[in-house]
Copies of this chain bind each other. A is one copy, B any other.
């Protein structure tokens, strides 16, 4: 099918579904989520067969082992997708909440109500679990979703999306609520980004390249997620044992994620006491170190850090390290190289803690804790659709509430102006 036809058909179907979804009861949505989970578990073989095709194609194309691992499903991973859907069913439904209400002098009663956004486009890469995850979060919040996964995972995604859509429909969810683009034509993404008539928002989930493409080409509003060049600043007043534990955790616990630390900043007054032991611990854990000239004096394996390193999201066991003159220099460095994601100070000084939290412009600003906590689950949201690094609509971890909009209901008895 020509992708423009497919996009139009799916857009219309999604918009019609969204209208109905907005008024469907929480009970039906939760039941659908549970049935969707069961459908995945009951059809593991179907999903694995489809996934096998994708893996075969991937191998034939010489896909790397890391990518093949992302693409690969097994019964455990499918079970985990199903469990994710059941957990979403357990969460409170944000739709219908009255956010505020007041009466105007002329008697008009105004109520601000939480409603679904409408139709959400999700563009993602080669992880088929995103299909179930995104479909579940959108359904719970009464939004129709149009999914566009990576072409490498097309068979897996189609299998999963069909099972989910069927199970949802059987439970009373309108057709068109969960749809996946079938075309793998690359032009289809660009066309999706211009589908303002049907889409209310697009959320890209993936690497920097994907996010950049979406941002630059979309006329549909976008929620930017992702890139995290996060810093930890060890202040001169820091408890150095605490600093060591946090700085180690922030880099090493999971280096491939966006809330991992990429650059360690250390106040010059504690550099000599702190860095030798810290750098040795990193080296033992296999961390490659790129440092400023002073950092290099504390460990012989540190290689010279370049301008590129200060700006890099390594996504790997690589760390940039810099000794700074002052809190001011740390703040300036973060303002220059940070991506407004997560930043931490380790300090025992009240004023420095306060200044850092006030002046650092980021979604999450920590005192004496690891940046790794920037996460919807760790924040207690019970779900996460991504971490927003923009300032409009949503900032930081996005849970169910971030997939909603508002609407004003105004009740009068004949008011005119």
A contact residues vs B (CB 8 Å cutoff): 19, 22-23, 102, 104, 108, 110, 117-118, 196, 200-201, 215-217, 219, 221-224, 239, 242, 245-246, 248-250, 253, 335, 353, 357-359, 361-370, 372-374, 378-380, 390-393, 395-396, 405-417
Contacts and interface: CB of A to CB of B under 8 A. Distances in A.
A375 to B, nearest CB: 8
A23 B359 contact: yes
B249 A110 contact: no
A410 B345 CA distance: 11
Given A335-B19, A378-B104, A391-B200, A408 B364 contact: yes
A380 B104 contact: yes
A62 to B, nearest CB: 33
Chain A binding surface, main DSSP class: mixed
A410 B335 contact: no
A206 B361 CA distance: 31
Contacts of A250: 416
19 contacts: A104-B380, A196-B215, A201-B391, A215-B219, A221-B222, A221-B392, A246-B414, A246-B415, A253-B416, A361-B407, A364-B407, A364-B408, A366-B410, A367-B411, A369-B415, A373-B417, A392-B393, A395-B405, A395-B407
B410 A406 contact: no
Contact of A370 (B395, B411, B416): B416
Contact of A366 (B216, B222, B363, B412): B412
A117 B415 contact: no
